[in-house]
Structure 1
């Protein structure tokens, strides 16, 4: 990882913003970058218990703030029985009637009036290369009110719903249209969640899905087919994130290829990267 950083020589560490930083689904995709001290993380988590845990465990390259990021308006936060389902949106009972194994998790235990901030208004964010976001259905409001901060971003990992779990929740199609309009294209799925449609369930595995897609974490990247719209520093951070977070070695090599064409890297950098991969047994 440090070898790649030395090859690319970006001007600064990669800047990551994590909205909904509560680590309920395990390690974040940027864990290895952070462990290698090659990125800085600014996280947002309005649930105070989760925020306290994040701040207790953080390194000197991380900061976690209590702001709820959305459209800048007042909202009622629906605190659910399972904290991972807490949302600014109301759980859609018609949907949950079809996924009974999930329904109890979405029981609203408390309603709290909170103020939200627009991503564009957050002074603590000076640069944003990689946005990771999971805020239970309110992601589109962030993309719409954060266009200036996202203008230089190169990767977005967002949760999407194929079956909307909340009332008035934007669909995957709406999110896809907006991110494409901001210059991103889909790259890969980081995770796909299937869920059994009620009343069917496997006898010993009641949470095991059959075919019905429910949610996914999808990764969008700056559209590399339009390289004239991507500057050299963006290409370097895209290469770092693609390699370190997603093992997308082909995308990393494409970025290096473009940088070589622009004479922003020495002419042998592609070969050095390929040698690095072969030496690490990533590529046969």
Structure 2
């Protein structure tokens, strides 16, 4: 589909505005962001935050008129140290745990700190550049819980969150998957999908030709949480519309999108034929 063609779901449910994406740690090191298709079709806006200068410059060099990027470090609002690691993707507010890293090929090297920079972190709730927040994508190497805890007001509006969760703590005092899951459930979200699972081979076994060789050991995963669709009365009409758009375009979760359409019809927010039209388009 070209960027200018009408979008069937958007035409059926007619959200009052474009879906608002907030991207914390917007450096695109892991490939395309999940909202890329929505951005290409001009169905969303993006407000992104990236503390690494080169990554921020790259984002700004190729952004569209729907995107804005800022040099903020999002966290708990306290002063902190940004620890730049040899592998930029491991840069964190936390100190890498060399004991844990030593159990996986190359990790101790990648996680060696090359420089430390004092930073003033900003609470998500205090960032005035975020007007609306429907979808939060976050990749902050251990600071996830600080962001979720400092954004409880803004996250009341959100319907989807994609976050990295750790099963082993590569950094000292890093919150685990259990800590993050507990916080997001308290905020009204439920797990929806894994979009990526990272495993590694435990030392001393290694494959010299492939430092990323895997066996079974889980390290971390990218997981999507959505506002609890089993409690639709807790969502506004507009929240149901944005959840449908995100489910459909970002994750091909057509069942979740159809569920939202069903509830929108029940609330007389859209015509009865919308579910038939949506199902027919899927076929």
Deviations 1:194-234 (A, max 9, x none): 11111112454342110111011100000001111011100
Matches within 5 A, 1:12-51: 12-51=17-56
Counterpart selection for 1:217 from 216, 219, 222: 222
Q: Which ranges in structure 1 are unaligned for 5 or more consecutive residues?
A: 279-284
- Check if 1:194 corresponds to 2:196: no
- Check if 1:56 corresponds to 2:61: yes
| Equivalent residues of 2:105, 2:211 under 8 A apart | no
> Residue 6 of structure 1: CA displacement?
0.4
Question: 2:212 matched to which residue of 1?
Answer: 207
Query: 1:40 is paired with a residue of what secondary structure?
Result: strand
Question: 1:238 matched to which residue of 2?
Answer: 243
Query: 2:106 is paired with a residue of what secondary structure?
Result: helix
> Residue 81 of structure 1: CA displacement?
0.5
Query: 2:173 is paired with a residue of what secondary structure?
Result: coil
Question: 2:128 matched to which residue of 1?
Answer: 123
Task: Give the number of equivalent residue pairs.
Answer: 278
- Within 1, Cα distance between the matches of 2:282 and 2:124? 37
Q: Taking structure 2 as the reference length, what is the TM-score of the superposition?
A: 0.97
Q: Which ranges in structure 2 are unaligned for 5 or more consecutive residues?
A: 1-5
C-alpha RMSD over aligned residues: 0.9
Q: Taking structure 1 as the reference length, what is the TM-score of the superposition?
A: 0.96
- Within 2, Cα distance between the matches of 1:227 and 1:156? 17
Query: 1:42 is paired with a residue of what secondary structure?
Result: strand
- Within 2, Cα distance between the matches of 1:235 and 1:3? 16
Deviations 1:62-89 (A, max 9, x none): 0000010000010011110011100000
Query: 1:147 is paired with a residue of what secondary structure?
Result: coil
- Within 1, Cα distance between the matches of 2:149 and 2:66? 28
